[in-house]
Structure formats: C-alpha cells, structure tokens
Amino acid sequence: MKEYDILVIGAGAGTKLVTPPSLLGKRVAVFEKETAGGTCLNRGCIPSKMVIYPSELLRLPEESKRFGIHFQENPKFDVDSIFTRVNQTVKLDSDSIPIAYEKNPNIDYIPNKVWFKKSKILTDGENEYTAKHIFVVTGTRPNIPNIPGLENTPYWTSREALSPNIFPKSLLIIGAGFISLELGAAYHSYGCQVIGLTRGEVLSHADGDIKKELNNHLPFPIHTNFKIQSVEFQNNLFRVSGTNKEGLVVQLEAEKLLIATGIKPNTEDLQLQNTKIQCNESGYILVDETLQTNDPGVYAFGDVIGRYFFRHSANFEGEYLFEHLYGNQKNLPISYPPMPEAIFTYPQIASIGKTEEDLIKEKIPYYKGLNPYKSSATGMARLSTYGFVKVLVSKETDQVLGAHIIGEEAANLLHQIVLGMYLKAKLDDYLGMIYIHPAISEITRNAFRKVREEKRKEVEM
C-alpha cells in the first residue's frame, strides 16, 4: 500500500489540487490514463479556439464588402498547417505538465488508469494507493447516440475533428449545440461544405431571442426536427438517411460525419460499486455542499458532477476545495457566483443567468431591455446588420437576473454584466457609470436604458 496525503484522479482540472497543496508540503499522487491537461487543453477549449480564430480572419473579405472594400482574390491559406500548428502547440503544453511534476519532490505523476478497490483505496492493477483526501476529476466524454449503422463507421467526435488526418471537402454534423456550432462554423470558413442535423432545435437551452437571431444568421445550414433513421459508410462517403420536419425522406452525403450529441460522465471504469460513492441516474457523481461524496474524504468536481460543464467552473471548484481543506476558508460550503458561458461560433454568443423563458415559467416579474448592435455609435461605424445585448432586470430588486448577447465580441462584452451581477449592482449602478464613447460597451448601456424606459412606462400607467 502506497500512502499519500492526496490522490487526484485526472490531470485536467484536477491539477488545482496537485501543485498548490504540494507547496504546503503535502505528498500528492496524480493519475492520468490519457494525456495531461484534460479535455480543455487536449481536445476542447484550447485547440478549438486555436482553430476558430484563423477561421474568423477568413470572413474578413466577405464582411468588408459592405464597406465598399473588395479584395482582388480569395485569401490563400493552408488549412493543414493550421491544424498542425494547433496540435503541436497543444502537445508541447501537455507534455510540459508531467515534466514540471517530476521536478517537484512532493508530486508523483502516474500515467495509469486507476479504480476503487474499496473505499479510500485505489489500484491500477499492480499497486494500491490510499490518502486522507481523494479527488475524482475524471470529466466527461462524447455521448454517442444509438443510430442504426453508426457503430462500425469511422465517425468523428470533437477529438478527431480537431486533429483531422485529411481536411474534408464536406462534413455532416449530428447535433446542434455549442460543439456543432463552433466547429461547423470554423470548417465552413475553411471551405468545407457543412450541413447540420438535429432532432430538435438549434441551441435548445438558449434564450428565445438568441435562438431567433441565431437562426436568422446561421453560419451553415442546419436541418431541425430531423429524425435520423440510419447511417452508412460506403466508398469513403457517409450517407445519413432520415425524415425532415415536413415528413419527407432525405438522404445526405459527406466525406466525414461529426457526432456532437452531448456528453456523458467518465464514471463507469471507477468501480464505484466498491465504495459508498453514489451517482445520479445519468451517472454523474453526487456531492454535498462541500463537494464531498457519500464516502468521507473523497471529493469530486468538474464535469463529472454534472453541475456546470466549463473549465472556468471546474477551476473555481478546485480552488474552492484547496481553500476549504488546506487554506483559510475551512468548513465553508461552496457558493457559486453567477456563471457565464460563451459559444465561439459565428455570430458569437454569451450568456449568464436566467433566460426570459425561465422567468416566465418561474413567474418572476422582470423588465426586459434589448438593444441591437446597430442602435449604437459603434454599430453605426461597423455597419452592424445583426446582434444585440439583452438584459433581464428584476422588478423587485432592480438587479440583473440574466443577460444574453449575440454578435461581435459577445464574450468580452458580457463581463461587465458578470461583474455587476457578482457585486449585486442595480439598474442605477449600470446607468450611473460613464461609458467610453463610442465603445462597443455602449450597446450594453443602451440595453439598460431600454429597461429604464420600460420601468418609467409602467410607473406612468
């Protein structure tokens, strides 16, 4: 039996409980069955944004036409070199993590798969390990739907789409969430013919006004309410058969097929039945208000607990656990601040808090302020044809309940509201500050002015 102070399963967000406690003298062992850095670094946030940003530059010739600027020829680019650079950069960063751990005498990096032999005891089949604190940070993986014919085909998930051997001329995507929208938009910009298919609607969880605007400006065609019947792969072509929303049988072909139909937790291989740890019906680990499982001393955080599915939320949870167990905030329950999200598609989308549909369903009284990009000085300068900032303000407290942005720089534009919600700012606080003229943030100010107008009308009535 090898004894440590801390065992960490997963070298992605789990790294938050590796180096910091080791610097306090804690002996730490971290296990990783794949490559260090987790989904975010290796096959998620980082490589996807490195692929997406160059694709955004390729839209400039088309975007510039409305200003009377016409490029003489189509831009030349080498898409293979772009993906090569992305994967080389990611590999270099990932490889550096174990090297850094090896230099730390308090850290043992063990590149093995481990599972629970019993409560508080892990094994990799050769050795057994135990510790006062164990952290399960195993994340999630793509969920593959049960479609007839799919199983034995060389379909892609986001992993393969971010490191293609050969860039395809055509791509079918099953799913219409953030992975589909981000990678589909990028592939489209690189000259690939992209078609999306979804059994429901595009970005089903989003605010209604966001969905309406997005559907008017989709970066590639998406067939909604499409019932897939089968998948075939013959002569190096995928063929997807199904019925569209009119009930007509449709067959679509492409060189590659990307499955982007959600995720599932990596819990099956942990042998949790040998412990007291419990999961919900979807397989996500259940934790209490301190992120502790039903097994005392065993904690879980990140995607595997199914609360939020962002690296920034996993980082927050990891930092909380460090302070809770080893820092100055012992025995305090986790308290999440407002959690923002962004989708780096075209047009970009960012959101925080409740949607308008949530407020209606929960019967929460609110004011709504929606301001298009074009109704601002910056929008006029940019000749904006789409996009808006939407804010939802409580009638009872004057605080923001939710905000939803679609358009250029949406992810950056949202942060002013993120800070405001964190500080519990009220409508007068947003309106009382001075905004740089003519900065893009004036779009947000104008949305809050719309709320003020709505509030005044209600008073006058």
State in words which class domain 2-142+264-326 has: alpha beta
Q: 33 near 352, Cβ under 8 Å? A: no
Torsion of CA 44, 47, 48, 51, to 10 degrees: -170
How large is the angle between the packed helices 442-460 and 410-422, nearest 10 degrees?
50
Task: Residue 298: name the closest of 141, 137, 413, 167 by CA.
Answer: 137
So what's the pLDDT on residue 331? 76
Burial of 37-76, coded b for 16+ CB within 10 Å and e otherwise, reads: bbbbbbbbbbbbebbbebbbebeeeeeeeeeeeeeeeeee
So what's the pLDDT on residue 74? 77
Fold: same for 2-142+264-326 and 158-261: yes
Task: Residue 442: name the closest of 399, 396, 400, 384 by CA.
Answer: 384
Gap between the Cα atoms of 162 and 84, Å rounded: 10
Q: Where are the domains of the chain?
A: 2-142+264-326, 158-261, 347-460
Q: 134 near 120, Cβ under 8 Å? A: yes
Strands 170-174 and 256-259, by their bridges, are parallel
Per-residue pLDDT of the chain (461 residues; tens, 9 = 90+): 999 999 999 999 999 999 999 999 999 999 999 999 999 989 899 999 999 999 999 998 888 999 999 887 778 899 999 999 999 999 999 999 999 999 999 999 999 999 999 999 999 999 999 999 999 999 999 999 999 999 999 999 999 999 999 999 999 999 999 999 999 999 999 999 999 999 999 999 999 999 999 999 999 999 999 999 999 999 999 999 999 999 999 999 999 999 999 999 999 999 999 999 999 999 999 999 999 999 999 999 999 999 999 999 999 999 999 999 998 877 789 999 999 999 999 999 999 999 999 999 999 999 999 999 999 999 999 999 999 999 999 999 999 999 999 999 999 999 999 999 999 999 999 999 999 999 999 999 999 999 999 999 988 87
So what's the pLDDT on residue 89? 96
| Residue appearing with tokens 């975010």 | 40
Gap between the Cα atoms of 409 and 350, Å rounded: 9
Q: 136 near 285, Cβ under 8 Å? A: yes
CATH code of the domain occupying 158-261: 3.50.50.60
Tell me the β-bridge partners of 406.
Answer: 349, 388
> Tokens representing 203?
């970005």
Gap between the Cα atoms of 86 and 80, Å rounded: 10
Question: CATH assignment of 347-460, given 3.90.1150.10, 1.20.140.10, 3.30.390.30, 3.40.640.10?
Answer: 3.30.390.30
